[in-house]
């Protein structure tokens, strides 16, 4: 199962699971049409589902259901909530397999019965029969589902091809799609900590391990060329990128360009990678004076996020990720930074995944994810990329909030940004070369308020320069 870029998101599960409610929420977050299959059938037939069961019997109703499911799944990608029995029809299962990411919304039988026993559902009139039906359908749901969800965040993650879970690294072999050979791309430090577990999990499919330099030193065309020359994969091969954002950026770009595009799996091991860099298909490397200037949009076929790996992170890497979590919380209007770490990861990853699915190639709303990054990237470039990313983002968020006219307390208290020592003119020149600039005019991401980002904001150059200068030591 890859991301649902050009496929539907279909919610399946037993009656009473809340598929319609979740479906509406997910459709809103993904900016897609929403369809409730039962409601569609009733509208087309001019009869309620109970009336159709009465007049057609269940076999006749399933024929109508298949016809309308086919019509919906033939249309442009949407979010669809299916009735509890829809997947018992072979034709529906076949359609879902080719045209949708099927997400099982789980519910226990006691809760399901308490929710529907007073309804007019034709298959919820006898508790014993209801419970027997639940048991019969459970394996069909499991076999049909690409993922399981308990809330809208889980559905969004599934739609983006993202698996989040403690211990996921040990199950990596079952999470890497396909059957062809794989190459593991990582750096020496990560290989020393997680390499043996990863190789054991991938098993016999692994044909080679390629090590990259640590950090931003990996993100050069010279490193890419070495990988291009040494890869031993055919078109059915898969690159597995294990490491921080620099590793996934570089390995993803190599995957995008080798043999005109190979599938790849991102396995981010840092907090910044798990909540930001490893999500959404943006890959790339740096030029000497511009970050991420050469790259491609190439979505991983799967992103595997194991928050348990964060236990080995040094303090500096946690600070890098903390800045991205805070950025995401400001964009969402939700204090994600106050949640337990594993939940921070899940919620922040889901927020970014939804934005990226709405705008896979950053032609519009996805630009909001650059909140603070116009300034951060300029400072990083002016430091020859010696400035830690988290420290740069903290300063960039401070600048964005100041230009937004909003309080900066949360950034100052949580991230404690300190001015950096870089050349002011060089930083300004790097900011003017930002990819979002138009005609040499910077275009910023600001906030109307937390939860309400504004993209493409143009301000007088002296105002922007003054805020940038305030981030730099005098």
Give the SS3 label for residue 223. helix
437 or 428, greater pLDDT: 428
pLDDT, tens digit (0-9, with 9 covering 90-100), for 329-349: 999 999 999 999 999 999 999
Give residue 437's pLDDT band: very low, low, confident or very high (50, 70, 90). Answer: confident
Which residue from 214, 160, 205, 198 is spatially nearest to 349, judged by alpha carbons? 160
pTM of the model: 0.93
Give residue 319's pLDDT band: very low, low, confident or very high (50, 70, 90). Answer: confident
Residue 289 has pLDDT above 80, yes or no: no
- CB of 326 closer than 8 Å to CB of 315: no
Give the SS3 label for residue 65. helix
- CB of 250 closer than 8 Å to CB of 224: yes
pLDDT, tens digit (0-9, with 9 covering 90-100), for 127-140: 999 999 999 999 99
Can you state the angle between helices 461-469 and 424-432, rounded to 10 degrees? 130
- Nearest-angstrom CA–CA distance, 416 and 396: 12
Average pLDDT of the chain is 95
Two tokens, residue 392: 């740069």
Least confident of 3-17, 193-207, 304-318, 397-411: 304-318
> DSSP string spanning 16-34?
TS-HHHHHHHHHHHHT--E
- Nearest-angstrom CA–CA distance, 372 and 445: 7
- Nearest-angstrom CA–CA distance, 351 and 314: 25
Helix, strand, coil percentages for the chain (3-state, nearest 5): 55, 15, 30
List, in order of start, the domains of the chain with CATH numbers.
8-159 (3.40.50.300), 163-313 (3.40.50.1970), 365-469 (1.20.1090.10)
- CB of 305 closer than 8 Å to CB of 163: yes
Task: Please tell me which of 124-128, 284-288, 403-407 the model is most confident about, judged by mean pLDDT.
Answer: 403-407
Give residue 354's pLDDT band: very low, low, confident or very high (50, 70, 90). Answer: very high
pLDDT, tens digit (0-9, with 9 covering 90-100), for 69-81: 999 999 999 999 9
What pLDDT shows up at residue 1? 63
Query: Quick one: how far is CA 401 from the chain centroid?
Result: 25
- Nearest-angstrom CA–CA distance, 338 and 36: 35
Q: Are strands 206-212 and 79-81 parallel, antiparallel or unpaired?
A: unpaired
Residue 440 has pLDDT above 90, yes or no: no
Under 8 Å CB-to-CB from 412, ≥6 apart: which residues? 398
What pLDDT shows up at residue 309? 96
- CB of 257 closer than 8 Å to CB of 263: no
Q: How far is CA 259 from CA 11, 228, 233, 255, 301, in A?
A: 35, 9, 9, 8, 16
pLDDT, tens digit (0-9, with 9 covering 90-100), for 115-172: 999 888 888 999 999 999 999 999 999 999 999 999 999 999 999 999 999 999 999 9
What pLDDT shows up at residue 446? 98
Give residue 317's pLDDT band: very low, low, confident or very high (50, 70, 90). Answer: confident
Mean pLDDT of 361-385: 93
Q: Where are the alpha helices (DSSP H) in 75-193?
A: 90-99, 109-116, 127-144, 152-159, 172-175, 188-190
Phi, psi (rounded to 5 degrees) for 25: -65, -45
Mean pLDDT of 369-388: 93
Phi, psi (rounded to 5 degrees) for 210: -115, 125
Beta bridge partners of 420: 472
């Amino acid at each position: 199962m890859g991301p649902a870029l050009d496929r539907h998101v279909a919610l399946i599960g037993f009656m009473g699971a809340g598929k319609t409610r979740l479906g509406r929420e997910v459709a809103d977050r993904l900016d897609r049409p929403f369809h409730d299959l039962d409601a569609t059938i009733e509208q087309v037939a001019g009869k309620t589902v109970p009336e159709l069961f009465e007049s057609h019997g269940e076999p006749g109703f399933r024929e109508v259901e298949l016809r309308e499911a086919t019509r919906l799944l033939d249309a442009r990608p949407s979010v669809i909530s299916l009735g509890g029995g829809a997947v018992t029809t072979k034709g529906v299962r076949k359609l879902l397999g080719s045209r949708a990411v099927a997400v099982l919304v789980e519910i226990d039988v006691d809760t399901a019965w308490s929710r529907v026993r007073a309804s007019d559902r034709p298959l919820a009139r006898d508790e014993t029969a209801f419970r027997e039906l639940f048991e019969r359908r459970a394996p069909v749901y499991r076999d049909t589902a690409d993922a399981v969800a308990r809330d809208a965040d889980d559905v969004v993650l599934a739609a983006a091809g993202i698996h989040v879970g403690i211990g996921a690294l040990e199950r990596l072999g079952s999470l890497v799609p396909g059957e062809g050979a794989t190459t593991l791309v990582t750096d020496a430090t990560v290989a020393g900590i997680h390499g043996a577990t990863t190789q054991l999990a991938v098993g016999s499919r692994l044909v080679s391990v390629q090590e990259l330099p640590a950090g931003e030193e990996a993100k050069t065309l010279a490193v890419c060329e070495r990988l291009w020359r040494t890869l031993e994969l055919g078109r059915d091969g898969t690159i597995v990128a294990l490491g921080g954002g620099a590793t996934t950026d570089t390995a993803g770009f190599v995957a995008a360009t080798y043999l005109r595009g190979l599938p790849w799996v991102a396995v981010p091991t840092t907090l910044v990678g798990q909540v930001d860099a490893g999500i959404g298909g943006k890959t790339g490397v740096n030029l000497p004076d511009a970050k991420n200037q050469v790259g491609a949009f190439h979505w991983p076929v799967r992103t595997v996020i194991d928050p348990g790996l964060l236990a080995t992170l040094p303090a500096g890497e946690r600070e890098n990720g903390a800045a991205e979590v805070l950025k995401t919380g400001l964009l969402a209007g939700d204090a994600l930074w106050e949640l337990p770490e594993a939940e921070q990861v899940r919620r922040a990853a889901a927020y970014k995944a939804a934005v990226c699915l709405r705008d896979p190639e950053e032609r519009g709303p996805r630009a909001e994810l650059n909140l603070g990054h116009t300034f951060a990237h300029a400072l990083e470039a002016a430091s020859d990329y010696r400035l830690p990313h988290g420290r740069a983002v903290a300063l960039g968020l401070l600048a964005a909030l100041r230009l937004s006219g909003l309080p900066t307390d949360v950034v100052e208290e949580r991230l404690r940004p300190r001015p950096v020592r870089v050349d002011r003119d060089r930083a300004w020149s790097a900011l003017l070369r930002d990819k979002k600039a138009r005609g040499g005019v910077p275009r910023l991401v600001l906030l109307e308020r937390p939860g309400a980002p504004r993209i493409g904001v143009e301000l007088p150059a002296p105002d922007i320069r003054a805020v940038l200068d305030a981030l730099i030591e005098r």
